[in-house]
Amino acid sequence: MERVIMIKYGELSTKKGNINFFIGTLYKNIKEKLKNYNVNIYKDISRMYIEFDDQDLEKILERINNIFGLHEYVVAYKIETDIEKIKSTVLEIVKKEPFKTFKVETKRSDKKFPISSLEFSKEIGGLILKNIDNIKVDVHNPDLLLHIEIRNTNTYIYINHYEGLGGYPNGTLGKGMLMLSGGIDSPVAGYLSLKRGIILEAVYFEAIPHTSMEARNKVINLTKKLAKYTNKIKLHIIPFTEIQESIYKNIDSEYCITIMRRMMYRIMEDLVKLRKAQIIINGESIGQVASQTLTSMQVINNVTNYPVIRPVACLDKLEIIDIAKKIDTYDISILPYEDCCTIFVPKHPVINPDLSKCIEYEKTFNYEEMIHKAIKRRIIMDITEEDINKFSDLL
Ligand code: ATP
Ligand code: MG
Protein backbone atom coordinates (compact mmCIF):
# COMPACT_ATOMS: atom_id res chain seq x y z
CA MET A 1 0.00 0.00 0.00
CA GLU A 2 1.27 3.42 -0.88
CA ARG A 3 1.88 5.84 1.97
CA VAL A 4 2.35 9.61 1.86
CA ILE A 5 3.15 12.27 4.39
CA MET A 6 0.23 14.69 4.43
CA ILE A 7 0.85 18.15 5.86
CA LYS A 8 -1.97 20.26 7.24
CA TYR A 9 -1.36 24.01 7.08
CA GLY A 10 -2.94 24.79 10.46
CA GLU A 11 -2.11 28.34 11.50
CA LEU A 12 -0.67 29.20 8.08
CA SER A 13 -4.13 29.06 6.55
CA THR A 14 -5.04 32.15 8.61
CA LYS A 15 -2.56 34.18 6.55
CA LYS A 16 -5.34 35.11 4.11
CA GLY A 17 -3.85 37.38 1.41
CA ASN A 18 -0.35 36.02 1.98
CA ILE A 19 -1.25 32.36 2.16
CA ASN A 20 0.35 31.46 -1.18
CA PHE A 21 3.61 33.12 -0.17
CA PHE A 22 3.71 31.32 3.20
CA ILE A 23 2.82 27.94 1.74
CA GLY A 24 5.08 28.44 -1.27
CA THR A 25 8.00 29.17 1.07
CA LEU A 26 7.21 26.14 3.22
CA TYR A 27 7.16 24.03 0.05
CA LYS A 28 10.56 25.37 -1.05
CA ASN A 29 12.05 24.78 2.40
CA ILE A 30 10.78 21.19 2.56
CA LYS A 31 12.09 20.52 -0.94
CA GLU A 32 15.52 21.84 0.02
CA LYS A 33 15.64 19.80 3.26
CA LEU A 34 14.73 16.62 1.40
CA LYS A 35 16.88 17.20 -1.67
CA ASN A 36 18.96 14.08 -0.99
CA TYR A 37 15.93 11.80 -0.93
CA ASN A 38 13.82 10.39 -3.70
CA VAL A 39 10.62 12.27 -2.94
CA ASN A 40 7.78 13.82 -4.85
CA ILE A 41 6.27 16.87 -3.17
CA TYR A 42 3.06 18.53 -4.29
CA LYS A 43 0.44 20.78 -2.78
CA ASP A 44 -3.07 22.10 -3.11
CA ILE A 45 -4.85 24.86 -1.22
CA SER A 46 -5.40 22.85 1.92
CA ARG A 47 -2.70 20.17 2.05
CA MET A 48 0.85 19.38 1.05
CA TYR A 49 1.90 15.82 0.22
CA ILE A 50 5.25 14.06 0.23
CA GLU A 51 5.61 10.75 -1.58
CA PHE A 52 8.67 8.84 -0.41
CA ASP A 53 10.54 5.54 -0.59
CA ASP A 54 9.51 3.38 2.37
CA GLN A 55 13.04 2.82 3.67
CA ASP A 56 13.58 6.60 4.00
CA LEU A 57 10.51 7.38 6.11
CA GLU A 58 12.26 7.69 9.47
CA LYS A 59 15.04 9.90 8.14
CA ILE A 60 12.54 12.10 6.31
CA LEU A 61 10.40 12.54 9.43
CA GLU A 62 13.51 13.47 11.38
CA ARG A 63 14.30 16.15 8.82
CA ILE A 64 10.83 17.64 8.53
CA ASN A 65 10.66 17.81 12.31
CA ASN A 66 13.21 20.64 12.04
CA ILE A 67 11.19 22.74 9.64
CA PHE A 68 9.39 25.81 10.93
CA GLY A 69 5.91 26.55 9.63
CA LEU A 70 4.93 22.93 9.82
CA HIS A 71 2.23 22.57 12.44
CA GLU A 72 0.67 19.19 11.92
CA TYR A 73 1.25 16.18 9.70
CA VAL A 74 0.23 12.56 9.31
CA VAL A 75 1.54 9.50 7.54
CA ALA A 76 -1.45 8.31 5.49
CA TYR A 77 -2.28 5.41 3.21
CA LYS A 78 -3.21 6.81 -0.15
CA ILE A 79 -5.75 5.01 -2.30
CA GLU A 80 -8.13 5.92 -5.07
CA THR A 81 -11.54 7.16 -3.95
CA ASP A 82 -13.58 4.01 -4.39
CA ILE A 83 -15.91 2.66 -1.69
CA GLU A 84 -14.88 -0.99 -1.97
CA LYS A 85 -11.20 -0.08 -2.09
CA ILE A 86 -11.59 2.14 1.02
CA LYS A 87 -13.30 -0.68 2.91
CA SER A 88 -10.69 -3.31 2.12
CA THR A 89 -7.86 -0.91 2.99
CA VAL A 90 -9.46 0.03 6.31
CA LEU A 91 -9.68 -3.64 7.27
CA GLU A 92 -6.10 -4.25 6.25
CA ILE A 93 -4.94 -1.32 8.41
CA VAL A 94 -6.97 -2.00 11.56
CA LYS A 95 -6.13 -5.71 11.58
CA LYS A 96 -2.50 -4.76 12.17
CA GLU A 97 -3.34 -2.57 15.19
CA PRO A 98 -3.91 -3.67 18.79
CA PHE A 99 -6.99 -1.94 20.24
CA LYS A 100 -10.11 -2.52 22.30
CA THR A 101 -12.05 0.64 21.47
CA PHE A 102 -12.16 2.74 18.34
CA LYS A 103 -13.78 5.58 16.48
CA VAL A 104 -13.98 6.42 12.79
CA GLU A 105 -13.86 10.02 11.63
CA THR A 106 -14.55 10.82 8.00
CA LYS A 107 -13.87 14.09 6.28
CA ARG A 108 -15.40 14.47 2.86
CA SER A 109 -13.96 17.36 0.90
CA ASP A 110 -15.16 15.76 -2.34
CA LYS A 111 -18.88 16.48 -2.21
CA LYS A 112 -19.43 14.23 -5.26
CA PHE A 113 -18.80 11.28 -2.98
CA PRO A 114 -22.33 9.86 -2.54
CA ILE A 115 -22.38 9.23 1.23
CA SER A 116 -22.23 11.89 3.95
CA SER A 117 -19.25 11.91 6.32
CA LEU A 118 -21.31 10.85 9.32
CA GLU A 119 -23.04 8.01 7.52
CA PHE A 120 -19.79 6.77 6.02
CA SER A 121 -18.11 6.74 9.46
CA LYS A 122 -21.03 4.63 10.76
CA GLU A 123 -20.83 2.26 7.81
CA ILE A 124 -17.08 1.76 8.24
CA GLY A 125 -17.54 1.40 12.02
CA GLY A 126 -20.06 -1.40 11.38
CA LEU A 127 -17.63 -3.07 8.99
CA ILE A 128 -14.84 -3.05 11.59
CA LEU A 129 -17.15 -4.41 14.32
CA LYS A 130 -18.22 -7.24 12.02
CA ASN A 131 -14.65 -8.24 11.17
CA ILE A 132 -12.78 -7.96 14.46
CA ASP A 133 -13.81 -9.66 17.73
CA ASN A 134 -14.01 -8.15 21.22
CA ILE A 135 -13.87 -4.49 20.30
CA LYS A 136 -16.34 -1.67 20.66
CA VAL A 137 -16.92 1.92 19.64
CA ASP A 138 -15.91 4.70 22.02
CA VAL A 139 -16.51 8.17 20.61
CA HIS A 140 -14.90 10.01 23.54
CA ASN A 141 -11.62 8.31 24.30
CA PRO A 142 -10.89 5.59 21.74
CA ASP A 143 -7.66 3.53 21.67
CA LEU A 144 -7.70 3.83 17.91
CA LEU A 145 -8.92 6.85 15.99
CA LEU A 146 -9.19 6.07 12.30
CA HIS A 147 -9.31 9.07 9.98
CA ILE A 148 -10.63 8.85 6.44
CA GLU A 149 -10.15 11.92 4.27
CA ILE A 150 -12.01 11.69 1.01
CA ARG A 151 -10.53 14.16 -1.43
CA ASN A 152 -11.10 14.36 -5.21
CA THR A 153 -9.45 11.37 -6.85
CA ASN A 154 -7.71 10.06 -3.78
CA THR A 155 -8.63 9.06 -0.28
CA TYR A 156 -6.21 9.20 2.64
CA ILE A 157 -6.52 6.93 5.64
CA TYR A 158 -4.45 7.40 8.79
CA ILE A 159 -4.35 6.71 12.50
CA ASN A 160 -1.28 8.61 13.62
CA HIS A 161 -0.91 12.31 13.98
CA TYR A 162 2.25 14.35 14.60
CA GLU A 163 2.86 17.88 15.76
CA GLY A 164 5.48 19.86 13.83
CA LEU A 165 7.67 22.63 15.22
CA GLY A 166 5.13 25.37 14.47
CA GLY A 167 6.21 28.94 13.80
CA TYR A 168 6.48 30.53 10.36
CA PRO A 169 8.37 29.13 7.36
CA ASN A 170 11.93 30.34 7.29
CA GLY A 171 12.28 33.23 4.86
CA THR A 172 8.78 34.65 5.19
CA LEU A 173 9.73 37.51 7.49
CA GLY A 174 12.97 39.06 6.31
CA LYS A 175 16.48 38.89 7.68
CA GLY A 176 18.09 39.52 11.07
CA MET A 177 21.72 39.72 12.18
CA LEU A 178 22.24 37.61 15.30
CA MET A 179 24.95 38.50 17.81
CA LEU A 180 26.17 34.99 18.53
CA SER A 181 28.57 34.51 21.44
CA GLY A 182 29.58 31.13 22.75
CA GLY A 183 27.14 31.47 25.64
CA ILE A 184 23.83 29.84 26.42
CA ASP A 185 21.48 32.71 25.63
CA SER A 186 22.32 33.83 22.11
CA PRO A 187 21.84 30.44 20.35
CA VAL A 188 18.42 30.25 22.02
CA ALA A 189 17.67 33.78 20.81
CA GLY A 190 18.69 32.61 17.32
CA TYR A 191 16.42 29.58 17.47
CA LEU A 192 13.43 31.63 18.62
CA SER A 193 13.89 34.15 15.83
CA LEU A 194 14.23 31.39 13.23
CA LYS A 195 10.90 30.16 14.53
CA ARG A 196 9.35 33.49 13.57
CA GLY A 197 10.34 32.93 9.95
CA ILE A 198 13.41 35.16 10.04
CA ILE A 199 16.51 34.33 7.99
CA LEU A 200 19.63 34.63 10.13
CA GLU A 201 23.18 35.68 9.62
CA ALA A 202 25.35 35.31 12.72
CA VAL A 203 28.03 37.69 13.96
CA TYR A 204 30.77 36.68 16.38
CA PHE A 205 33.22 39.20 17.90
CA GLU A 206 36.54 37.63 18.68
CA ALA A 207 39.64 39.03 20.34
CA ILE A 208 42.54 36.79 19.35
CA PRO A 209 45.01 36.24 21.09
CA HIS A 210 42.89 36.91 24.19
CA THR A 211 40.32 34.42 22.90
CA SER A 212 41.18 31.04 21.43
CA MET A 213 40.40 29.08 18.29
CA GLU A 214 38.44 26.74 20.56
CA ALA A 215 36.13 29.65 21.37
CA ARG A 216 35.68 30.27 17.65
CA ASN A 217 34.98 26.59 17.02
CA LYS A 218 32.35 26.68 19.70
CA VAL A 219 30.54 29.41 17.82
CA ILE A 220 30.90 27.52 14.54
CA ASN A 221 29.41 24.43 16.16
CA LEU A 222 26.55 26.45 17.64
CA THR A 223 25.88 27.89 14.19
CA LYS A 224 25.73 24.35 12.79
CA LYS A 225 23.11 23.46 15.38
CA LEU A 226 21.01 26.45 14.35
CA ALA A 227 21.49 25.67 10.65
CA LYS A 228 19.44 22.52 11.24
CA TYR A 229 16.35 24.74 11.23
CA THR A 230 17.18 26.62 8.04
CA ASN A 231 19.28 25.96 4.96
CA LYS A 232 22.52 27.64 5.81
CA ILE A 233 23.74 30.42 8.05
CA LYS A 234 26.38 32.95 7.12
CA LEU A 235 28.73 33.50 10.06
CA HIS A 236 30.70 36.76 10.21
CA ILE A 237 33.72 36.64 12.50
CA ILE A 238 34.75 40.16 13.48
CA PRO A 239 38.34 40.84 14.62
CA PHE A 240 37.59 42.87 17.73
CA THR A 241 41.01 42.90 19.42
CA GLU A 242 42.10 46.39 18.43
CA ILE A 243 38.84 47.98 19.54
CA GLN A 244 38.78 46.07 22.77
CA GLU A 245 42.38 46.85 23.66
CA SER A 246 41.83 50.52 22.92
CA ILE A 247 38.80 50.57 25.20
CA TYR A 248 40.73 49.04 28.07
CA LYS A 249 43.63 51.41 27.52
CA ASN A 250 41.60 54.62 27.30
CA ILE A 251 38.49 54.20 29.39
CA ASP A 252 37.68 53.84 33.10
CA SER A 253 37.23 50.18 33.85
CA GLU A 254 33.67 50.53 35.13
CA TYR A 255 32.57 51.86 31.69
CA CYS A 256 34.53 49.35 29.59
CA ILE A 257 31.70 46.89 29.09
CA THR A 258 29.18 49.60 28.27
CA ILE A 259 31.47 51.14 25.65
CA MET A 260 32.45 47.74 24.28
CA ARG A 261 28.81 46.89 23.74
CA ARG A 262 28.15 50.23 22.10
CA MET A 263 30.97 49.38 19.68
CA MET A 264 29.45 45.97 19.00
CA TYR A 265 26.08 47.58 18.28
CA ARG A 266 27.72 50.10 15.92
CA ILE A 267 29.30 47.23 14.00
CA MET A 268 25.98 45.40 13.99
CA GLU A 269 24.26 48.45 12.54
CA ASP A 270 26.79 48.62 9.69
CA LEU A 271 26.39 44.90 9.04
CA VAL A 272 22.60 45.15 8.99
CA LYS A 273 22.93 47.75 6.24
CA LEU A 274 25.64 45.87 4.37
CA ARG A 275 23.74 42.57 4.40
CA LYS A 276 20.35 44.17 3.72
CA ALA A 277 18.85 42.87 6.93
CA GLN A 278 16.20 44.65 9.00
CA ILE A 279 16.98 43.94 12.63
CA ILE A 280 19.65 43.11 15.19
CA ILE A 281 19.00 40.07 17.38
CA ASN A 282 20.82 39.15 20.57
CA GLY A 283 20.63 37.07 23.72
CA GLU A 284 20.28 39.87 26.23
CA SER A 285 18.05 39.05 29.14
CA ILE A 286 16.75 41.77 31.45
CA GLY A 287 18.70 41.97 34.69
CA GLN A 288 21.11 39.12 33.91
CA VAL A 289 24.30 41.18 34.15
CA ALA A 290 25.24 44.85 34.63
CA SER A 291 25.03 45.58 30.91
CA GLN A 292 21.46 44.28 30.82
CA THR A 293 19.75 46.62 33.26
CA LEU A 294 17.14 48.80 31.60
CA THR A 295 19.37 51.88 31.87
CA SER A 296 22.31 49.98 30.37
CA MET A 297 20.15 48.70 27.55
CA GLN A 298 18.97 52.22 26.82
CA VAL A 299 22.48 53.68 26.76
CA ILE A 300 23.86 50.82 24.66
CA ASN A 301 20.88 50.82 22.31
CA ASN A 302 21.33 54.55 21.76
CA VAL A 303 23.91 54.02 18.98
CA THR A 304 21.45 52.39 16.57
CA ASN A 305 18.02 53.13 15.19
CA TYR A 306 17.46 49.58 14.02
CA PRO A 307 15.13 47.45 16.09
CA VAL A 308 17.05 45.24 18.49
CA ILE A 309 15.06 42.07 19.10
CA ARG A 310 15.86 40.20 22.30
CA PRO A 311 13.88 36.96 22.18
CA VAL A 312 15.00 35.82 25.64
CA ALA A 313 14.68 39.24 27.31
CA CYS A 314 11.90 38.12 29.64
CA LEU A 315 12.84 34.49 30.22
CA ASP A 316 14.42 33.11 33.38
CA LYS A 317 17.85 31.53 32.95
CA LEU A 318 16.32 28.12 33.67
CA GLU A 319 13.74 28.61 30.94
CA ILE A 320 16.51 29.57 28.53
CA ILE A 321 18.52 26.49 29.55
CA ASP A 322 15.49 24.26 28.92
CA ILE A 323 15.30 25.48 25.33
CA ALA A 324 19.09 25.23 24.93
CA LYS A 325 18.90 21.57 25.96
CA LYS A 326 16.01 20.91 23.61
CA ILE A 327 17.89 22.35 20.63
CA ASP A 328 21.11 20.63 21.67
CA THR A 329 23.22 23.76 22.07
CA TYR A 330 23.59 23.60 25.85
CA ASP A 331 26.49 21.12 25.96
CA ILE A 332 28.47 23.21 23.48
CA SER A 333 27.67 26.48 25.27
CA ILE A 334 28.97 25.30 28.62
CA LEU A 335 32.41 24.38 27.27
CA PRO A 336 34.82 26.58 29.23
CA TYR A 337 36.58 28.63 26.51
CA GLU A 338 36.80 32.34 27.22
CA ASP A 339 34.77 34.79 25.19
CA CYS A 340 35.82 38.38 24.52
CA CYS A 341 33.17 39.58 27.00
CA THR A 342 34.48 37.48 29.84
CA ILE A 343 38.21 38.10 29.56
CA PHE A 344 38.18 41.80 30.42
CA VAL A 345 35.30 41.89 32.87
CA PRO A 346 35.94 44.74 35.34
CA LYS A 347 35.31 44.22 39.06
CA HIS A 348 32.57 46.84 39.20
CA PRO A 349 30.88 47.41 35.84
CA VAL A 350 28.53 50.38 35.93
CA ILE A 351 24.89 49.41 36.44
CA ASN A 352 23.35 52.77 35.56
CA PRO A 353 25.69 54.20 32.91
CA ASP A 354 25.43 57.83 31.93
CA LEU A 355 25.06 58.51 28.22
CA SER A 356 27.01 61.77 28.18
CA LYS A 357 29.92 60.08 29.96
CA CYS A 358 29.97 57.37 27.28
CA ILE A 359 30.08 60.00 24.57
CA GLU A 360 32.97 61.76 26.32
CA TYR A 361 34.92 58.52 26.70
CA GLU A 362 34.39 57.64 23.09
CA LYS A 363 36.01 60.90 21.98
CA THR A 364 39.32 59.63 23.37
CA PHE A 365 40.02 57.22 20.53
CA ASN A 366 39.33 56.92 16.83
CA TYR A 367 36.82 54.13 16.94
CA GLU A 368 35.20 54.87 13.58
CA GLU A 369 38.28 53.89 11.64
CA MET A 370 38.74 50.80 13.78
CA ILE A 371 35.15 49.73 13.17
CA HIS A 372 35.60 50.21 9.46
CA LYS A 373 38.74 48.07 9.49
CA ALA A 374 37.19 45.34 11.64
CA ILE A 375 34.27 44.98 9.23
CA LYS A 376 36.55 44.94 6.22
CA ARG A 377 38.73 42.24 7.76
CA ARG A 378 35.95 39.98 8.90
CA ILE A 379 35.95 36.31 8.02
CA ILE A 380 32.79 34.94 6.43
CA MET A 381 31.76 31.30 6.55
CA ASP A 382 28.70 29.59 5.08
CA ILE A 383 27.62 27.00 7.59
CA THR A 384 25.18 24.16 7.03
CA GLU A 385 24.10 21.52 9.47
CA GLU A 386 26.29 18.88 7.84
CA ASP A 387 29.52 20.64 7.14
CA ILE A 388 31.24 23.89 6.39
CA ASN A 389 30.82 24.29 2.66
CA LYS A 390 32.74 27.35 1.90
CA PHE A 391 35.33 29.37 3.66
CA SER A 392 36.23 32.82 2.42
CA ASP A 393 38.61 35.15 4.06
CA LEU A 394 37.93 38.71 2.96
CA LEU A 395 41.35 40.02 3.94
P1 ATP B 1 25.01 34.36 26.14
O2 ATP B 1 24.22 35.59 26.54
O3 ATP B 1 24.86 33.98 24.74
O4 ATP B 1 24.86 33.27 27.13
P5 ATP B 1 27.01 35.66 27.42
O6 ATP B 1 26.14 35.52 28.61
O7 ATP B 1 28.46 35.41 27.47
O8 ATP B 1 26.49 34.79 26.26
P9 ATP B 1 26.36 38.37 27.56
O10 ATP B 1 27.50 39.04 28.17
O11 ATP B 1 25.15 38.04 28.36
O12 ATP B 1 26.82 37.08 26.80
O13 ATP B 1 25.98 39.22 26.29
C14 ATP B 1 24.65 39.44 25.87
C15 ATP B 1 24.49 39.18 24.41
O16 ATP B 1 25.41 39.96 23.65
C17 ATP B 1 24.77 37.76 24.01
O18 ATP B 1 23.66 36.96 24.24
C19 ATP B 1 25.08 37.92 22.56
O20 ATP B 1 23.92 38.09 21.79
C21 ATP B 1 25.86 39.22 22.53
N22 ATP B 1 27.30 38.98 22.63
C23 ATP B 1 28.07 38.98 23.72
N24 ATP B 1 29.34 38.67 23.42
C25 ATP B 1 29.39 38.45 22.09
C26 ATP B 1 30.40 38.08 21.15
N27 ATP B 1 31.64 37.85 21.52
N28 ATP B 1 30.05 37.94 19.86
C29 ATP B 1 28.79 38.14 19.45
N30 ATP B 1 27.81 38.49 20.29
C31 ATP B 1 28.08 38.65 21.59
MG1 MG C 1 23.89 36.21 28.70
186 alpha carbon – ligand 2 mean position (Å): 7
Ligand 1 touching residue 340 (CB < 6 A):
yes
Q: Whose CA is nearest to atom 10 of ligand 1?
A: 341
What mean pLDDT comes out for the span 169-176? 96
Distance CA 198, CA 126 (A): 50
* Cβ atoms 262, 300 nearer than 8 A: yes
Report residue 30 CA to chain centroid gap.
14
**Band of residue 387 on the pLDDT scale cut at 50, 70, 90:** low
Q: Whose CA is nearest to atom 7 of ligand 1?
A: 183
The mean predicted confidence, pLDDT, of the chain is: 93
What mean pLDDT comes out for the span 319-330? 98
* Cβ atoms 102, 28 nearer than 8 A: no
Ordered domains of the chain (ranges, CATH): 2-163 (3.30.2130.30), 175-392 (3.40.50.620)
Distance CA 88, CA 131 (A): 11
Site to probe by mutation for ligand 1, drawn from 178, 184, 185, 219 as the one with most ligand atoms within 8 Å of Cβ, is 185
Nearest to 137 by CA among 96, 120, 146: 146
Ligand 1 touching residue 204 (CB < 6 A):
yes
Q: What per-residue confidence (pLDDT) applies to 14?
A: 76
**Band of residue 392 on the pLDDT scale cut at 50, 70, 90:** very low
Residue 23, amino acid: I
What mean pLDDT comes out for the span 209-226? 95
Lowest-pLDDT choice from 13-17, 166-170, 218-222: 13-17
In sequence order, what are the residues at sequence separation of 6 or more whose Cβ sits closer than 8 angstroms to the Cβ of residue 255? 350, 353, 357, 358, 361
222 alpha carbon – ligand 2 mean position (Å): 15
Distance CA 299, CA 302 (A): 5
Ligand 1 touching residue 332 (CB < 6 A):
no
Lowest-pLDDT choice from 5-19, 48-62, 150-164, 325-339: 5-19
211 CA closest ligand 1 atom index: 27
Instruction: Answer yes or no: is pLDDT of 340 > 90.
Output: no
Dihedral angle of Cα 297, 302, 308, 313, to the nearest 10 degrees: 10
Lowest-pLDDT choice from 125-139, 211-225, 258-272, 286-300: 286-300
Lowest-pLDDT choice from 14-28, 60-74, 236-250, 337-351: 337-351
Nearest listed ligand to the Cα of residue 341 = 1
279 alpha carbon – ligand 2 mean position (Å): 19
**Band of residue 342 on the pLDDT scale cut at 50, 70, 90:** low
218 alpha carbon – ligand 1 mean position (Å): 13
> What's the pLDDT tens digit per position in 38-61?
999 999 888 999 999 999 999 999
Percent of the chain residues topping a pLDDT of 70: 96
The torsion angles phi and psi of 221, rounded to 5 degrees, stand at -70, -35
341 CA closest ligand 1 atom index: 24
> What's the pLDDT tens digit per position in 81-124?
999 999 999 999 999 999 999 999 999 987 889 999 999 999 99
> What's the pLDDT tens digit per position in 4-20?
999 998 777 777 778 88
